[in-house]
Amino acid sequence: MKDIRVLKKSEIRALEPDKKDDQETSQLQIEGYAIVFNEPSKVLDDFTEIIQAQALNGVDLSEALLLADHDYSKPLASVKANTLQLDIDDKGLHFVAQLDEQVSYAKDVFQNIQNGNISSMSFRFDVADGGDQFTEDEQGNITRTIVQIQNLYEVSTVTIPAYDSSSVDTRSYEKFIDDKKQKENKGATKKMTEKTVIKPEETETRSFEDYIRTRGEKRDGLTTDGNGVIIPKEVITPIFQSKVSSNKLADYVTVKQVSVGQGSYPISSNDPSKVLATKAELTEIGDVDAGVKGVDFKAETRAGKIYLSNELLDDNAINFKAEVQAQLQKLVDNTDNAQILALLKSLTAQTAKSLDDVKQLKNTKLDPSLTPVVIVNQSGFNWLDTLKDNEGRYMLTTDVQAPTGKALFGLPVVELADSVLPNVAAGKFPIFIGDLAETIALFRRNQVAVNWQQFDSYSQGLAVVVRNDYKFINQDATVAITVDTTTAG
């Protein structure tokens, strides 16, 4: 069955017409996102739906069309005709389309987008066998997760600002509802027994070590009935969504989702010296250096697990499991911080004895086209926060958008604990000023959350596994400084 969807946060924009040389006609161009990953739909037949980031992996997009309102008699562009470009990035399915202004309805669509009358995109697709999963939370809210799309037939400009629920009818949903009804019919006493007793012949649970050895390929005994395995591309489950913090360095670096364990990823660096070459009429276009280089990566596995007794979970009024899961997510963030800081601390540090020295290093060592941040520890932040000029004004200024609410030289300040970023020595503390997105790439292979029942010990196991790598893109995009306050001016 082909489903039609319109995401709430899909995007579409009309670009300024690009006039052709020596012609009065112009090229009409639109671009935006037809699919946005990990965004919930409105309620569809008693459930909501999200599309995971890996759902488009391996999908052939070469035959995809751009239509007006899913009308095949109104094609706007196509991949085959090179008038439609589809690219998958961390956010979703991005598109750029060239419209023919001599086609009346194409010109009408462009004008309606430009006027704001059309503001959404839709797409027609079908799901691969086993490519969707249904889950239900404690409040009874059902979520359908699309993990693999089989075919993407077309994307369309539409006026509907939400999902279209007219074609939702899946065998997996029917099976989910049937299973749910069977469980409800067993009665309250039966359900209480099933909550605490695991029948070995029905849910043979293999060990966590076996799961790691097989990398999740074997799923025997790991079900979604009270325990399960969830393997999305980036973020695990809603409970694992950590809040945005002021000291989460992964928010500042370049994050690339990779589909293999190791390889070389092409990343463009910021180099203002790279320009196009002059070309004489009818001569061959020359080669240029676009500043793109391959960054080698190899994902390493980092993991941790913890056991909770079912007595502890049953006898506490609070959601103890959720507290532990939240703590496991903090360990993921802490791991990112530690690996990113390890790279930053490997940079050769310059010594500064005054704030003027710090400013000079920032002005002379960093390209002015970068967008740096200032990373300090508690000792460094305290030193900066207490500095005053000759008129008694504090040197740090207010910046409501900065993580700390403070700015140095107009740059947002990020503060880490001394235990995370220790002082170099007594009276000497580190400062990093740089554009982390240009400095470091974080390659994410996958991130796995596991929750399983341990029958012989009447307990539950919780674990998180990440496979990441951390590499330099351009070491010159960040300057490492050691401030020596023992002889500071």
Give the DSSP H or E segment for 222.
Answer: none
Closest by Cα among 52, 57, 444 to 238: 52
Q: Write down the pLDDT at residue 447.
A: 74
The pair of three-digit structure tokens given for residue 326, joined into one six-digit string? 């939240």
Round to whole Å and give the CA distance between 78 and 65: 4
pLDDT tens digits, one per residue of 212-223: 444 444 444 433
Q: DSSP letters along 407-429, please? A: EETTEEEEEE-TTTS--SBTTEE
pTM greater than 0.75 (yes/no) = no
Q: Write down the pLDDT at residue 5.
A: 59
The pair of three-digit structure tokens given for residue 342, joined into one six-digit string? 């390890």
The pair of three-digit structure tokens given for residue 475, joined into one six-digit string? 């070491």
> Of how many residues is the chain composed?
489
Closest by Cα among 440, 134, 468 to 269: 440
Q: Write down the pLDDT at residue 365.
A: 92
Closest by Cα among 39, 37, 97 to 68: 97
Report the 10 Å Cβ neighbour count for 464: 22
pLDDT tens digits, one per residue of 444-474: 887 777 777 777 777 877 788 888 999 999 9
Round to whole Å and give the CA distance between 69 and 123: 10
Which residues partner with 480 through β-bridges? Answer: 432
* C-beta separation of 199 from 46 below 8 A: no
Round to whole Å and give the CA distance between 89 and 234: 12
For residue 275, give the 3-state DSSP assignment.
Answer: coil
Give the DSSP H or E segment for 397.
Answer: strand 397-398
pLDDT band at 343 (very low <50, low <70, confident <90, very high): very high
Closest by Cα among 92, 8, 69, 9 to 43: 8
Complete domains list, the chain, with CATH: 3-171 (no CATH), 235-489 (3.90.1690)
pLDDT band at 1 (very low <50, low <70, confident <90, very high): very low
Round to whole Å and give the CA distance between 32 and 30: 7
Amino acid at 413: V
The pair of three-digit structure tokens given for residue 308, joined into one six-digit string? 């909770």
Closest by Cα among 445, 430, 300 to 361: 430
Round to whole Å and give the CA distance between 355 and 390: 13
pLDDT: is 389 or 414 the higher one?
414
Most confident of 108-117, 234-243, 286-295: 108-117
Q: Is the pLDDT of residue 375 over 80?
A: yes
Lowest mean pLDDT among 43-47, 195-199, 363-367: 195-199
Closest by Cα among 420, 430, 256, 235 to 340: 420
Q: Write down the pLDDT at residue 361.
A: 94
* C-beta separation of 289 from 277 below 8 A: no
Closest by Cα among 438, 423, 426, 436 to 481: 423
